[in-house]
Structure 1
């Protein structure tokens, strides 16, 4: 892992014993909430390898719950997040997965409510940094450390151009972009990391672009 500053090595300000198992887990949980667009009513959380072995002692369980509730890593309510989740009618089930994973700090979250559900795979790579590697069956690489727009669209000519045209008009710079599709002409996922948070008004404009199905965002 490449560190950019001493603060990356020390880790973020947080409530909990471990930057990887607590702060990273909280950020994965919050990324899932942001992508879902609201607090879910239920969550099934599969923990792999190191996460599965130590999640109770290292606070990974309450950190994931705190993230799903929208807490920042330094929120003093974090250690009580499991109790707060119950009071907020958020039912969480933790499952210790026996399968191996590419990274020892891997978690698969399936979250939902009465109308829809979403599945996300995240890894905590150290120092509170995370990567989202899968969303609803699409492979991706999303750091969670920068504002991002995730766009589900039909795999058609002009879809990407229609999105970048709107971003350019509003002087929003793209730091990283990738597109993944399950098959030619089917649904595709566009992931765009940008330099600043994108206003909801711009998201509404993006939703009117060609071949767009759904848009969600992660704020910094």
Structure 2
């Protein structure tokens, strides 16, 4: 299997017991936190396939919590993440979901706070590597091997050009780009993989570009 999608995560240096069920789960949780932009106050976590069957014994539960808390896979606090989450006011509900999925190690995280919420679907594909396959109903493939920015925008003429013009001005090279939309003229999602991390001042400039609604970034 090739790990060459947009969000490939190398590893793992990890707290065990399992690279797929622990390290991979932690990386999915961390990706959700990064895309949300802060620690959520609550999380509803749907577990599918082998994740649903073994999540307590293999540490998938505390790994997902650790990721949502911002812990790296090697963080020694990982095994205590459920207790730490409770102390920090992060309420987590795990749901063993029987729906069929394309991959046995699949999790859907719905996270939020008083102001906003986010929903992602992630899969752990082995060796600590993961893919994010869905974000707020948009299909995508993210793996984390390179920096990425995710831009929600109105599906209008000039939206993509306004973004690429700003990136070119700041000499940000695009390694991979895809655009998904739910319907013509509605909201769309740009996923842009870059060769270097995009600084916050550039993100602020992008937010002011034509037809842009929201921006999140993933740092390598």
TM-score interval for Structure 1 and Structure 2 normalised by the shorter chain: over 0.9
Distance across 1 between alignment mates of 2:38 and 2:3: 32
Distance across 2 between alignment mates of 1:193 and 1:103: 24
Regions of 4+ moved over 6 Å: none
Aligned to 2:90: 90
Aligned to 1:111: 111
Mapping of residues 202-213 of structure 1, within 5 Å? 202-213=202-213
Mapping of residues 74-85 of structure 1, within 5 Å? 74-85=74-85
CA displacement at 1:144 relative to structure 2: 2.3
CA displacement at 1:185 relative to structure 2: 0.5
Q: How many residues align?
A: 216
Distance across 2 between alignment mates of 1:22 and 1:37: 22
Conserved 8 A contact 1:106-1:124: yes
1:110-145 deviation digits (Å, cap 9, x = unpaired): 000011111100001111111111111111111122
CA displacement at 1:2 relative to structure 2: 2.5
TM-score, scaled relative to structure 2:
0.95
CA displacement at 1:11 relative to structure 2: 4.2
SS at 1:15's partner residue? coil
SS at 2:213's partner residue? strand
Structure 1 gap ranges (5+): none
SS at 1:153's partner residue? strand
Give RMSD over aligned pairs: 1.4
Conserved 8 A contact 1:132-1:144: no
TM-score, scaled relative to structure 1:
0.95
